Structure 1
Amino acid sequence: MKKVFLGLFIIIFLAGSVWIGQYFYKKSTTDPVVYKTEKPFYTNIVKKTVATGSIVPRKEIQIKPQVSGIVEELYVEAGQTVKAGQMIAKIRIVPNMVSVNNAETSVQTAKIAFSQAKQELDRQKQLFEQKVIAEQEYNKFLLEYNLKKEDLTSAENNLQLVKSGTSKRTGGSNVIYSTVEGMVLDVPVKVGASVIERNNFNEGTTIAAVADMKSLIFEGKIDESEVGKLREGMDLNLTIGAIENKVYKARLEHIAPKGILEEGAVKFQVKAQILLEPGDFLRAGYSANADIVLDQKENVLAIKEGLLQFGKKSKDSVFVEVETGPQQFQKKLVKTGLSDGINIQIVEGLKAEDKVKVTEAATPDKQS
């Protein structure tokens, strides 16, 4: 029995010895760790923020009717250019029967009064010609006649306005004219649709929207963490999703003094004038992103920001490891400048010929 245990012990011992020998052999033949290096380089660094928004006209006017009724004719369509005073639409008045009845009664009353004034004037004229009455007395009846005549004309015009929306004196209030020059962006009504006049209690139905498409602005929103770095007059680069490979220039002209809470974050509205070149045409409503340049440096010495290392004791101890010999590195403090999130400016501490250690190690096989 003892011989069996002794044999098992010897076998286990020999197996363990073989395993330990293989382990140390593999360790001795493992490739050493090799660190990559990168040299500083000269580049342009631009620090910017992005505002999302859309393209809108600076001046957009909604044309509304002065009378209620039904759209009888439309003279324009979306995309058409119009001038100030050009006809947009014609409204057919649907008369109110009570108003028509009152207007007709007023006309009849004015006719009776005018007829009576005319008869009296004719009678007084004969007396005046016979020199029975003085001219001053005759002029009183002439004045009364003219007043009654004017009342009749006014009553007839009022009746015509109630029925058709037009009058001989003032023309047609049922014809809608453009108040500005520009492009028709939208005609939200169709022929046969009912429209409501604008008044103190109702803004009225929009017949057409007209805007000056030569003067466009970018309206967007920016986070509160970036708004403090903005100032009016800054240059913007606009990229529009619908237009590829084209960057438009803009100039910041307004920053909202009050923020708006949206989705848990406070955002401020910004507006920028779009600087269009001859031949450029943008449509209202395009979504756009504005790159706002906060700061920029040209042709400065820089490295990848990921190469920086930070000391534990002091927040200001920023350093890199510079190669002094084959796979031998020495810590070197550096002073940094502007960063764009990928590259960072090196103000002091490095030269263009230095080789900076990449902290991510690699074996010779991985390097090749």
Structure 2
Amino acid sequence: MITVNKKWIRLIGIVGCTVWMASCKQAPDAEVKSSSYAVMQVEAADKELSSSYSASIRGRQDIDIYPQVSGTIEKLCVTEGQKVRRGQPLFIIDQVPYRAALKTATANVEAARAALATAELTYKSNRELYAQKVVSEFSLKTAENSYLTAKAQLAQAEAQEISARNNFSYTEVKSPCDGVVGALPYRVGALVSAGMPYPLTTVSDNSDMYVYFSMTENQLLALTRQYGDMDEALKNMPEVELILNDNSVYNKKGIIESISGVIDRQTGTVVARVVFPNGSRLLHSGASGTVVVPSIYKDCIAIPQTATVRMQDKTIVYKVVDGKAVSTLITVAGISNGREYVVLDGLKAGDEIVSQGAGLVREGTQVK
């Protein structure tokens, strides 16, 4: 039994040595594999990055049309989708009561003028008689007060005539601007009033369209720093593209006209407005799309995002120095295209960095 145990011990020792030697042979290969990384040498060049933002499309003016007087609609002067000019009639509301009110107001003005003329004659006559000591001062003052009252009544009658004339004019509802007529939910015979909850229609001025999108506070800061200040940014920013809801690209480019100066506390964003020409009337108010905003950087260093490691608010790359990975803190632009970063500080042309798999690299790793 003792002889058998010694044989087993020898056999186990031989197997263990064999396994250890095999693992020693494989270790260098594994080490070489783990330290092989894609590297790149950074260079300075002009770079254009594009950022995409969800956007809503509105007409230059979307004006809800409400009646200013009550009555039934007598006539529809337009149809849905029709192009109209400023001042063109859209609806006509029953004019009979307002025409009668205007005639009454006009008659009241004429009566008030006649009363004023009579009061003026009486006052002048009493003034001459008073000078001759024919009438008393009381009679003169009474005639003067009657004259002043007649003047006030004429002014009141004229104001009522103006109001009646305006009300009569309001029976013809006109377009306040050039544009396109929206839906017409009310038809001939419908009773309408100034306090109704929904408009008669909406007139959209769509010769140019406003496209609104939101950008974050960090993107706003990056934009401001890139151009120096917001006024310079608006002057020098390149034209932007619009991708429509069917993923087609609109054939005209737009200009960023304004950026809100107030950051929304709830969303942390600001609203920017782009103007697109709409001569073809392809864009419609209420539609949605995507705005593509290019950012052009001159003589900059751009690196792939796979070459970076984000640690909270810091960005790190690994330089290759004497064959070893050395972590380096860099500053990148706040605007990116989702694939690359523009490096503002921390790298210079000629530096060699790990371009892929930076998250697997450790300080001092031998890079092959």
Please confirm whether the aligned pair reaches a TM-score higher than 0.5, indicating the same fold: yes
CA distance in 2: counterparts of 1:173 and 1:48, whole angstroms: 50
- Over 3 Å counting, the alpha-carbon distance change for 1:59 and 1:218 in structure 2 is same
Matched, 1:242 2:257: no
Q: Spell out the pairing of 1:20-169 with structure 2 (5 A cutoff).
A: 20-29=17-26, 31-32=29-30, 33-34=32-33, 35-40=36-41, 44-47=46-49, 49-92=51-94
Q: Secondary structure at the match of 1:17?
A: helix
Question: Given residue 55 of structure 2, which amino acid in structure 1 is its aligned partner?
Answer: G
- Over 3 Å counting, the alpha-carbon distance change for 1:259 and 1:188 in structure 2 is farther
Post-superposition offset of 1:338: 6.1
Matched, 1:289 2:282: no
Q: Which residue of 2 aligns with 1:14?
A: 11
Q: Is the 8 A contact 2:308 2:316 kept in 1?
A: no
2:201 to 196, 205, 208: 208
User: Which structure has more helix as a fraction of its residues?
Assistant: 2
Q: Is the 8 A contact 1:68 1:195 kept in 2?
A: yes
CA distance in 2: counterparts of 1:309 and 1:173, whole angstroms: 67
CA shift digits 1:73-112 (9 cap, x unpaired): 32323311012232212334798xxxx9xx8xx99xx9xx
Post-superposition offset of 1:213: 0.8
- Over 3 Å counting, the alpha-carbon distance change for 1:11 and 1:208 in structure 2 is same
User: Which structure has more strand as a fraction of its residues?
Assistant: 1
- Over 3 Å counting, the alpha-carbon distance change for 1:302 and 1:213 in structure 2 is closer
Determine what percentage of the aligned residue pairs are the same residue.
20
Question: Given residue 4 of structure 2, which amino acid in structure 1 is its aligned partner?
Answer: G
Q: Is the 8 A contact 2:206 2:278 kept in 1?
A: no
CA distance in 1: counterparts of 2:281 and 2:175, whole angstroms: 25
CA distance in 1: counterparts of 2:303 and 2:197, whole angstroms: 63
CA distance in 2: counterparts of 1:53 and 1:317, whole angstroms: 33
Q: Secondary structure at the match of 1:214?
A: strand
- Over 3 Å counting, the alpha-carbon distance change for 1:257 and 1:242 in structure 2 is same
CA shift digits 1:300-340 (9 cap, x unpaired): 66543434689xxxx99965227x8xxxx356898978664
Q: Which residue of 2 aligns with 1:227?
A: 220
CA distance in 1: counterparts of 2:172 and 2:11, whole angstroms: 111
Post-superposition offset of 1:259: 2.5
Runs of 5+ consecutive residues of structure 1 not aligned to the other structure: 114-153, 159-165, 362-368
Q: Secondary structure at the match of 1:58?
A: strand
Runs of 5+ consecutive residues of structure 2 not aligned to the other structure: 112-156, 225-229, 361-368
Q: Which residue of 1 aligns with 2:172?
A: 175
- Over 3 Å counting, the alpha-carbon distance change for 1:220 and 1:304 in structure 2 is closer
Q: Which residue of 2 aligns with 1:366?
A: none
- Asked which structure has the greater CA Rg, the reply is 1
The number of residues matched between the two structures is: 277
Q: Secondary structure at the match of 2:211?
A: strand
- Over 3 Å counting, the alpha-carbon distance change for 1:80 and 1:190 in structure 2 is same
Q: TM-score, normalised by structure 2?
A: 0.57
Q: Is the 8 A contact 1:196 1:204 kept in 2?
A: no
- Over 3 Å counting, the alpha-carbon distance change for 1:191 and 1:17 in structure 2 is farther
Q: Secondary structure at the match of 1:249?
A: coil
Q: Which residue of 1 aligns with 2:144?
A: none
Q: Which residue of 2 aligns with 1:145?
A: none
1:273 to 246, 271, 275: 275
